[in-house]
C-alpha cells in the first residue's frame, strides 16, 4: 500500500470501514427478519437486547438495502486496491445512495411524527422517536461526513 497517495488511502479506509458497518448492520437485521418471518426460534430475548440496542427492526427490504450499500463501498475499496481508479466512483455512489436512503427514513419518521402529534391520530398516539429510528439513519452520519469532506471532488470527477 506504499504506492497509494494519502488521499486515496483515506478513501480506501473510509470505504472499508463504512462498508463493513453497513454489511454488519444489514446482516443482523436480515437475521432478525428471517427468524421473525419463518418463526425459527424464540427471538424475544435477542430482540429486546440486540435489536433494541441497534434499532434494527425485522425489516427484510431494509436489511437488503443495507447489504447493497455495504457491498458498493467494499467493491469500490477492492477496485481501488487493485489499481483501478473507477473504484472512487463506487465510493461516491455508495455515499450518495446511503444519504438518499437515510433521507427517506428521516422523511418517514417525520411523516409519522406529523400523524401522531399534528393530526392527533389515535392509532399512532403512543409514537416515539425511537420507534422509527433505523440503522440507515445513524449509519448515514458517516457517509455524510465523507461527503462533506470530499464534496469539492464530486464536481471535479469529469474535469
For the segment 52-62, the average pLDDT, to the nearest whole number, is 70
pLDDT of residue 1: 44
Q: Which of 20-34, 65-79, 133-147 has the highest mean pLDDT?
A: 65-79
Instruction: Classify residue 96: in a domain, yes or no.
Output: yes
Computed from CA positions of residues 14, 99, 135, 39, in that sequence, does the dihedral angle turn out positive or negative?
negative
Query: What are the angstrom distances between the C-alpha of 49 and each of 23, 43, 138?
Result: 20, 10, 18
For residue 136, is it within any domain?
yes
Question: Please, how many CA atoms are within 13 Å of residue 127, restricted to the half-sphere of its CB?
Answer: 21
pTM here is 0.83
Could you list the residue range(s) of the whole structural domain that residue 136 is in? 7-154
Q: How far apart are the first and last CA of the chain?
A: 27
Is 2 contained in some domain?
no
Instruction: Give how many domains the chain has, as a whole number.
Output: 1
Residue 131's pLDDT is: 73
Instruction: Report pLDDT digits (tens) over 98-139.
Output: 999 999 999 988 888 877 777 776 666 667 777 778 888 989
Amino acid at each position: 500500500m506504499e504506492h497509494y497517495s494519502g488521499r486515496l488511502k483515506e478513501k480506501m479506509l473510509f470505504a472499508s470501514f463504512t462498508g463493513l458497518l453497513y454489511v454488519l448492520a444489514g446482516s443482523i437485521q436480515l437475521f432478525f427478519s428471517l427468524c421473525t418471518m419463518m418463526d425459527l426460534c424464540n427471538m424475544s430475548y435477542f430482540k429486546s437486547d440486540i435489536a433494541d440496542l441497534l434499532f434494527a427492526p425485522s425489516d427484510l427490504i431494509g436489511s437488503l438495502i443495507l447489504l447493497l450499500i455495504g457491498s458498493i463501498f467494499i467493491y469500490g475499496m477492492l477496485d481501488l486496491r487493485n489499481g483501478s481508479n473507477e473504484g472512487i466512483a463506487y465510493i461516491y455512489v455508495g455515499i450518495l445512495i446511503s444519504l438518499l436512503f437515510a433521507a427517506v427514513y428521516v422523511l418517514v419518521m417525520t411523516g409519522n411524527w406529523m400523524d401522531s402529534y399534528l393530526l392527533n391520530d389515535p392509532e399512532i398516539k403512543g409514537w416515539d422517536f425511537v420507534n422509527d429510528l433505523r440503522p440507515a439513519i445513524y449509519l448515514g452520519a458517516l457517509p455524510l461526513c465523507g461527503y462533506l469532506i470530499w464534496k469539492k471532488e464530486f464536481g471535479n470527477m469529469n474535469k
